[in-house]
Structure 1
């Protein structure tokens, strides 16, 4: 029986010359760069005043007038080559792009601390990482970790080019053409089993299992309920390495935006999309309200469009359509409370001396039942929280300190507003942060409970910024919201509306949203094949 050929993915028909992109986050900028490189006229409208979306670096003032810089969204950059590829689409030399990003290696990738006092430095180099595991957990556990490393690397090689970095229209696409062999290979690899069970085949140490499975939370799914396919995320940061722009994560959006403008694209800041003008089943313009120093200008102006790329998230897009809320059938990821602190440098000097520290509480499975209950309305904050502590000054010295104090951010995973709708974060949040900082001080971060809290973001503040369910982590990667079952990037409400960003394919995180922009562009015009995005070179070191 002859194997059926894989069909080309569906694309927007009709005129496509003029493209309006809604949102100057990384997905919108990626789409804009790839489309501009293909010869389209591209206008990006952004309601805020800076590019980058959730990937930003902000300056926050302390009570004494001193100012501190914080990464107030994403703090982990993997596979920076994807940003370089987007810039290359408009002719930016890769060496220049890398120089503009000014990437530094983050090594170790993480420090993992456990309630029993164990500490593991998760080194960027494979051999150093395995040797570190041997020192902490023993030779047998290290041998299992080496096999796990190889299994994850192969998983990534199977998944990325065929399942992540490619448009698909329906489940049958996975058994057609070259996808048939890739699908068989993925099944043989055990990628459809549970993530925790897959990792247990290589290591019985529950602490090390956490190190290689907590990344499933990036996809909005507790590790015990995640499919093994999401082990690819662990490989992206542990296997391929983490980089950091010397001037902060916000530099990524700045460089992408500069590249687009330099190539003749347009970005209109302080310009909010408020509706669409339509002709039949097509959108022919985006209605905007622009704000200036003197108030509103161009209220109701229409930017002509042959195609629209909505890279603004499901909640914002629902508002543009005039809907009260996005599809309530979507299940969203857990949220987070993030406190940005000015910490005395002398106190912080006694802590783990690294950029990212993951401090695991003694509890594990119970905590996920609290923040990601199977039924909405039953969530609660972690009683024994595992937290992420971020100190960018450890990788980029001198840029994140002022007056003898250091900028430190602490993230506690929490239920989103759907999971815990009765939790009043405006009243509950300050006390929660104070108690949680006290718990961290008891865990060994002495002085953190006396730090000045400069800003706290909670599910309520994420919701106020337009994120559905009060989470910045978008739609969860549940079984029904994974791969071809996830919200597709061709929106059925109009034949020329394409989606990009974390709510659509391929999903949440910096590598996926950069990919989503390219996939959105591919729905408008075929994107040229690119070299495989796998391999050690992606670490950007």
Structure 2
């Protein structure tokens, strides 16, 4: 455990989600006196847990992907993932249902298994010639993934040209094409069968986007599920939150819940001196890290004259997709569904166009269903099953904002249950089911301060990815930094873990493109010397002391 050091920087972290907890733990290890402030009574942010009627649900992220990012953060903290998370390798990785000629009839299905060779054979049987094409696509995705890890994901882009080495320079024309061409266009050029294209394109939803809008650089995500694997931490994804919180506290961070921040206090010289809570309490700080929603931070917490991203600048940005989430109890078991099941409509493009055009998706629609009981039956009540439905929805905070709207969406959730039952051949699924709770875009807006009720963070389009994504430091408040899904590197639990490391890099003034060496030495923030945000603070403190000595 890192004890508080005399003269150590006081850092306030706003938000107790993945990014906030990871940042608090890392900076506390670095020797800072860290106070994390979470507005809600429980930690987790978008990564929540709900226990109701004998069922336990993850209410947010449910895919454990990109294990390297988890391993890196735990290694920074001098720990091992396996000592904190019991990871189960899923097989099948997921089950896919493709809409048939009858939209309310049985769907064609296939399993994506843990054996890549078996998958290539399955794809080949479905569409001759495409098995080899899918293999090549996955191999190429693996290469892109390694480049991203080595050159793009662990940089703050403080020096954008720093990502360019000889290898990147050699690939520059191709990388430029991957940024300017859509994911959907790249997939269509590689694979003929529309069903297999959907298997390669559904990751766009993880990016808050659609295949026609996300840059094709994100084809790298197909490496994760087709080659690398899909895992499940026993206890659910909330087990990650519990581990992060425990480690942050072990390192000496003070973690406070039910502590909503009303404003970030900025002095006349443009330095954040702390935060004021809704209760009126002032929490002093030498630096502030906001892991809350970036729009909320900049338009509600930062004083108007010190906003890097004022309200008018958000007119040019896209919030990405939201979601209708439904937590469902089913009488009896539904073995027709895997741990992860994906339901894809035939009119795939129209489905996405409706959502991103701020219109309700049709019924049937493309839907994701998590049935964790397929792996861990303890999450469900005796003799019953638990389903978590995610339907991509438009980012519209009015959806679910009234009792009437919420009741309507409960009915909509039941219609999607009917679709799932029909496609998967589950007898009388709606009649056997009780919708225990729904989460709507209004809930994301009100409960998490999410801009426009978005479920994930800023959409990953060309102009909102990599060096074009909002930087993780304010351009006006010298000691205000950001972490989380709407800053670099982007959306998702692994990238939020990386965003914590990028905050540490900003504090240290580190501009290299790779991850920090592991383990991070206890008290490593003292190594900043005259660099980075901490260097600026030290120079400011010295200047203030000099003025005081002169009697100024």
Indicate yes or no: 2:439 matched with 1:447. no
Contact 1:68 1:400 in 2 (8 A): yes
| Alignment correspondent of 1:9 | none
Deviation at 1:76, TM superposition (A): 0.7
| Alignment correspondent of 1:277 | 265
Contact 2:399 2:405 in 1 (8 A): no
Rounded Cα–Cα distance in structure 1 between residues aligned with 2:272 and 2:33: 16
SS in 1 for 2:427: coil
Rounded Cα–Cα distance in structure 2 between residues aligned with 1:383 and 1:133: 28
Contact 1:159 1:186 in 2 (8 A): no
Rounded Cα–Cα distance in structure 2 between residues aligned with 1:434 and 1:427: 11
Using a 3 Å threshold, how does the CA distance of structure 1 residues 493 and 421 change in structure 2: closer, same or farther? farther
Using a 3 Å threshold, how does the CA distance of structure 1 residues 311 and 180 change in structure 2: closer, same or farther? farther
Using a 3 Å threshold, how does the CA distance of structure 1 residues 80 and 17 change in structure 2: closer, same or farther? same
Map Cα deviations across residues 343-371 of structure 1 (whole Å, 9 max, x no partner). Answer: 1224x13x13x110001122111111100
Map Cα deviations across residues 206-242 of structure 1 (whole Å, 9 max, x no partner). Answer: 1001101111122122102222111122323333222
Q: Choose which of 305, 317, 328 in structure 1 pairs with 2:314.
A: 328
Deviation at 1:87, TM superposition (A): 3.0
| Alignment correspondent of 1:142 | 131
Contact 2:441 2:454 in 1 (8 A): yes
Rounded Cα–Cα distance in structure 1 between residues aligned with 2:456 and 2:251: 31
| Alignment correspondent of 2:547 | none
Deviation at 1:45, TM superposition (A): 1.1
Contact 1:82 1:515 in 2 (8 A): yes
Q: How does 1:521-540 map to 2 (within 5 A)?
A: 521-526=504-509, 530=515
SS in 1 for 2:496: helix
Rounded Cα–Cα distance in structure 1 between residues aligned with 2:312 and 2:227: 36
| Alignment correspondent of 2:30 | 38
SS in 1 for 2:171: helix
Map Cα deviations across residues 161-189 of structure 1 (whole Å, 9 max, x no partner). Answer: 2112211036xx23x57446415415325
- Two-structure CA RMSD over aligned residues (Å): 2.6
Contact 1:220 1:476 in 2 (8 A): yes
Q: Choose which of 377, 383, 393 in structure 2 pairs with 1:404.
A: 383
Map Cα deviations across residues 236-294 of structure 1 (whole Å, 9 max, x no partner). Answer: 333322211111111101101111111222211221221222332101111124xxxxx
Using a 3 Å threshold, how does the CA distance of structure 1 residues 304 and 152 change in structure 2: closer, same or farther? same
Q: Choose which of 291, 309, 317 in structure 1 pairs with 2:289.
A: 309
Q: How does 1:85-484 map to 2 (within 5 A)?
A: 85-92=72-79, 94=80, 97-116=81-100, 117-138=107-128, 140-169=129-158, 173-174=160-161, 176=162, 178-179=164-165, 181-188=167-174, 190-192=177-179, 193-279=181-267, 280-289=269-278, 299-317=279-297, 318-321=299-302, 327-329=313-315, 330-346=317-333, 348-349=334-335, 351-352=336-337, 354-373=338-357, 378-396=358-376, 398-417=377-396, 425-443=405-423, 444-450=425-431, 451-465=433-447, 466-484=449-467
Using a 3 Å threshold, how does the CA distance of structure 1 residues 60 and 422 change in structure 2: closer, same or farther? closer
Using a 3 Å threshold, how does the CA distance of structure 1 residues 389 and 402 change in structure 2: closer, same or farther? same
TM-score relative to the length of structure 1: 0.84
Rounded Cα–Cα distance in structure 2 between residues aligned with 1:239 and 1:420: 38
Contact 1:16 1:524 in 2 (8 A): no
Rounded Cα–Cα distance in structure 2 between residues aligned with 1:222 and 1:268: 37
SS in 1 for 2:99: coil
| Alignment correspondent of 1:50 | 42
Rounded Cα–Cα distance in structure 2 between residues aligned with 1:183 and 1:415: 39
| Alignment correspondent of 2:496 | 513
Normalized per residue, the structure richer in helix is: 2
Indicate yes or no: 2:59 matched with 1:72. yes
Rounded Cα–Cα distance in structure 2 between residues aligned with 1:184 and 1:194: 22
Moved more, 221-230 or 146-155: 221-230
Rounded Cα–Cα distance in structure 1 between residues aligned with 2:249 and 2:318: 36
SS in 1 for 2:119: helix
| Alignment correspondent of 2:549 | none
Rounded Cα–Cα distance in structure 1 between residues aligned with 2:169 and 2:184: 21
Gaps of 5+ in 2: 1-6, 101-106, 305-309, 519-552
Contact 2:96 2:110 in 1 (8 A): yes
Contact 1:22 1:46 in 2 (8 A): yes
SS in 2 for 1:275: strand
Using a 3 Å threshold, how does the CA distance of structure 1 residues 480 and 531 change in structure 2: closer, same or farther? closer
Rounded Cα–Cα distance in structure 1 between residues aligned with 2:400 and 2:443: 14
Map Cα deviations across residues 463-499 of structure 1 (whole Å, 9 max, x no partner). Answer: 2212111122111112221222211111124110000
Moved more, 243-252 or 180-189: 180-189
Using a 3 Å threshold, how does the CA distance of structure 1 residues 393 and 382 change in structure 2: closer, same or farther? same
Deviation at 1:430, TM superposition (A): 2.2
Using a 3 Å threshold, how does the CA distance of structure 1 residues 358 and 268 change in structure 2: closer, same or farther? same
Using a 3 Å threshold, how does the CA distance of structure 1 residues 25 and 308 change in structure 2: closer, same or farther? same
Using a 3 Å threshold, how does the CA distance of structure 1 residues 38 and 531 change in structure 2: closer, same or farther? closer
Rounded Cα–Cα distance in structure 1 between residues aligned with 2:406 and 2:311: 22
Gaps of 5+ in 1: 1-14, 62-66, 290-298, 534-541
Moved more, 150-159 or 217-226: 217-226
